C-alpha cells in the first residue's frame, strides 16, 4: 500500500524529530512543517528550492518534488525555521542545514507528485515551449496522432504559432478595477496583481467581444473569433491553459461523439456542458470496494489521502462505458484517466488550515473529477462540496499563485447559483474543477470519498515538460495514466489488455 499522506492542524498529532507534514493546503501541496522538539514551519528564503522539495516529498511517500511555493496562511503564533542548502539527496529535511529565523516574509511550501513526465503522452513540438510564457502573441495547438494498435500512449503533435493582434479600441471594460478586490479573500496580496494587470492590459473593444467580463475571469459566450482578444488579458499561465483547453471549450476541433452517445452518456455530457457539475446517483459499485477503500485510510486524523491499489475500482472504471463516453466527449475526444485516491476530511475544518474550504478553482483549467461517497454526507454537517454553476466556462485572469484563485463567499453568492453536493453512501458526483467550488467548512461530521481525475490527454504532458507548479495531474494519486478516446466503435482504451487483481 502506498503511504498515507497527511495534512494536519498544528498540534493534532505526535511525531518524532525529523518528521514532516504539509499544512494549510492539500495532501500534495502546502506549507512545510518539520518536527524538532515541536512542530515549526519553514521560513521562505532564496534557497528554498526544488532540492528541498525533493527531500520533503520523499519523506511524505511521494515520488518527487515538483516545485516550491510561498504560502501566505502561516500561523502567526508558531516559531520559524529557515531551511537552506538542501542537496536533494538527503533522507530527511533535518539533514539539510537549518537555522532559526527571526524575520520571515512567508512560509515555505512545496508541491509533490507521483507522476513523471515520461509517463504522459509524448509531445512532438514544432517550436520552443518556453517561448509561450514570455511572448503573448504566441499560441499552442496540439492534435493527437493516429493511434497504433500497439501504442499505449499515442503522441500529440503540437505547434507554436503567431496569434492575431489583441489590441482594439480604448473603450473596453477594465476587469482590474479597485473594487474587484472585493471578489478575493487575500486582498492585500491581490492589490499589486490588479494594479499591474490594469496597467499592462490589452485594450479590447467591448462591442467586438461576445463575452461576459467578471472580476475573476472572462466567460466566452460563443465564437472562436474572440480567442485573440480573450488571451490578451490573461496571465502567461492563463493564456497557456486557454490554448490547452481549446478542445474542451469547443474552440478547436469539435466535441466528438454527441450523436453516438447513449441516452445516459448524453445526459451526463449535456449537464456538464450546461452547469459544470451533476449528481450521478447510485453508482452500482462492486461489492467490497467501499470497505477496501476505507481500510486504506485506517484511523486517519486530520486531512489525509491514501493511495491503495483498488482492482475492483479500476475494473469498474474501465467497464462503465456510459461514464467513459461522457467524459471523453466533454474533454474533446481525447482523455487521460490519471489516477485515484481515497480522501478523509476530518469533522473539524477551518479555512485557515484547509484553503480548499475557500471558494476557489484548481488553477489548472478544464478537467473533471469523479467523487464516490464512502459514507453518508449530510448537507449541513458533512462538509459537502459546493459548486458555483456555470463558472466552469470562465477563463481566469491568473493561475500563478493560490491567493489569485480564492474568492469571497459574498462575491460567489451574488454572481452564481450554487449546487450543494450532499448524498448517500455509494452515490457520486462529477464536476469540472475549473468551476468555482469549495469544501463546506461548517459541520461536525467527517467525509470519506474516492476521487478519480481526468484531463484532456495532451495537457499534463505540456505542463510537465515546462516544469510548471500546477496540479496537472494532482500529485497525490495512485497513478494509472490510462489514455482513452472516442472512435466510431465507441470508447477505446489503451492498452486494451489490462489485468485487474
**Is residue 161 one of the residues assigned to a domain?**
no
Dist CA 297 CA 370 (whole Å): 19
Prior bond to 473 cis, omega within 30? yes
Helical (H) or strand (E) element with 134:
helix 131-134
The total number of structural domains in the chain stands at 2
Domain boundary among 62, 84, 113: 113
Domain boundary residue among 113, 143, 166?
Answer: 113
Instruction: Give residue 68's domain range.
Output: 2-113
Domain boundary among 55, 80, 113: 113
Predicted pLDDT of residue 401: 86
- CATH number of the domain enclosing 35: 3.10.250.10
CB atoms within 10 A of CB 142: 25
CA dihedral sign, ordered 162, 163, 165, 166:
negative
**Is residue 51 included in any domain, yes or no?**
yes
The pLDDT of residue 324 is: 96
Instruction: Kindly report the CATH number assigned to the domain that includes residue 307.
Output: 2.60.120.620
Give the cell for residue 196. Answer: 499591474
Answer whether residue 402 is part of any domain.
yes
The pTM score is 0.90
Closest to 20 (Cα-Cα) out of 105, 104, 96: 96
Q: What is residue 224's predicted lDDT score, i.e. its pLDDT?
A: 45
What is the predicted pLDDT for the residue at 185? 94
Are the CB atoms for 139 and 239 separated by under 8 Å? yes
Residue 219 lies in a domain: no
The low-confidence residues of the chain, meaning pLDDT below 50, are: 1, 8-12, 167-171, 203-208, 223-225, 257
d(CA 19, CA 377): 33
Return the number of other C-beta atoms located less than 10 Å from residue 278's C-beta: 21
- Residue whose grid cell is 524529530: 17
What residues does 34 pair with on adjacent strands?
Answer: 20, 40
Q: Is residue 29 part of a domain?
A: yes
User: What is the predicted pLDDT for the residue at 168?
Assistant: 41
In a domain, 164, yes or no: no
What DSSP designation does 76 have? T
Q: Is the dihedral of CA 146, 150, 155, 156 positive or negative?
A: positive
Q: Is residue 169 part of a domain?
A: no
The verdict on residue 414 lying in a domain is yes
Amino acid at each position: 500500500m502506498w503511504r498515507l499522506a497527511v495534512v494536519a492542524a498544528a498540534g493534532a498529532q505526535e511525531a518524532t524529530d525529523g518528521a514532516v507534514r504539509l499544512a494549510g493546503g492539500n495532501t500534495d501541496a502546502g506549507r512545510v512543517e518539520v518536527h524538532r522538539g515541536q512542530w515549526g514551519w519553514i521560513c521562505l528564503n532564496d534557497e528554498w528550492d526544488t532540492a528541498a522539495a525533493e527531500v520533503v516529498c520523499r519523506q511524505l511517500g511521494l515520488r518527487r518534488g515538483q516545485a516550491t511555493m510561498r504560502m501566505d496562511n502561516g500561523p502567526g503564533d508558531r516559531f520559524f525555521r529557515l531551511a537552506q542548502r538542501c542537496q536533494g539527496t538527503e533522507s530527511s529535511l533535518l539533514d539539510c542545514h537549518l537555522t532559526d529565523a527571526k524575520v520571515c516574509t512567508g512560509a515555505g511550501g512545496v508541491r509533490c507528485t507521483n507522476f513523471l513526465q515520461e509517463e504522459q503522452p509524448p509531445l512532438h513540438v514544432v517550436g520552443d515551449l518556453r517561448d509561450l510564457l514570455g511572448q503573448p502573441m504566441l499560441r499552442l495547438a496540439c492534435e493527437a496522432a493516429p493511434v497504433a494498435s500497439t501504442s499505449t500512449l499515442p503522441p500529440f503533435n503540437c505547434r507554436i504559432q503567431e496569434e492575431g493582434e489583441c489590441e482594439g479600441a480604448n473603450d473596453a471594460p477594465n476587469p482590474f478595477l479597485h473594487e474587484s478586490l472585493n471578489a478575493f479573500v487575500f486582498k492585500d496580496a491581490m492589490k499589486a496583481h490588479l494594479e499591474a494587470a490594469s496597467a499592462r492590459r490589452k485594450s479590447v473593444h467591448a462591442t467586438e467581444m461576445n463575452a461576459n467580463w467578471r472580476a475573476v475571469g472572462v466567460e466566452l459566450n460563443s465564437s472562436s473569433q474572440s480567442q485573440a482578444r480573450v488571451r490578451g488579458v490573461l496571465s502567461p499561465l492563463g493564456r497557456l491553459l486557454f490554448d490547452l483547453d481549446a478542445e474542451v471549450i469547443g474552440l478547436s476541433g469539435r466535441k466528438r461523439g454527441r450523436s453516438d452517445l447513449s441516452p445516459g452518456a448524453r445526459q451526463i455530457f449535456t449537464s456538464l456542458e450546461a452547469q459544470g457539475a451533476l449528481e450521478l446517483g447510485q453508482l452500482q459499485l462492486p461489492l467490497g470496494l467501499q470497505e477496501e477503500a476505507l481500510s486504506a485510510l485506517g484511523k486517519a486524523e486530520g486531512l489525509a489521502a491514501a493511495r491503495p491499489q483498488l482492482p475492483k475500482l479500476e475494473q469498474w472504471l474501465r467497464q462503465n462505458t456510459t461514464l467513459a463516453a461522457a467524459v471523453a466527449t466533454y474533454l474533446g475526444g481525447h482523455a487521460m484517466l490519471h489516477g485515484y485516491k481515497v480522501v478523509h476530511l476530518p469533522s473539524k475544518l477551518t479555512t485557515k488550515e484547509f484553503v480548499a474550504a475557500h471558494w476557489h478553482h484548481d488553477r489548472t483549467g478544464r478537467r473533471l473529477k469523479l467523487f464516490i461517497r464512502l459514507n453518508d454526507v449530510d448537507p449541513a454537517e458533512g462538509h459537502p462540496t459546493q459548486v458555483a454553476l456555470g463558472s466552469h466556462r470562465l477563463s481566469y485572469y491568473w493561475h500563478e499563485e493560490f491567493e489569485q484563485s480564492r474568492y469571497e463567499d459574498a462575491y460567489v453568492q451574488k454572481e452564481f447559483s450554487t449546487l450543494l453536493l450532499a448524498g448517500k453512501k455509494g452515490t457520486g458526483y462529477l464536476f469540472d474543477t475549473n468551476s468555482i467550488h469549495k469544501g463546506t467548512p461548517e459541520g461536525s461530521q467527517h467525509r470519506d470519498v474516492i476521487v478519480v481525475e481526468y484531463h484532456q490527454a495532451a495537457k499534463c504532458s505540456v505542463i510537465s515538460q515546462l516544469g510548471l507548479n500546477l496540479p496537472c495531474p494532482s500529485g497525490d494519486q495512485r497513478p494509472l495514466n490510462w489514455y482513452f478516446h472516442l472512435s466510431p466503435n465507441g470508447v477505446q482504451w489503451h492498452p486494451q489488455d489490462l489485468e485487474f487483481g
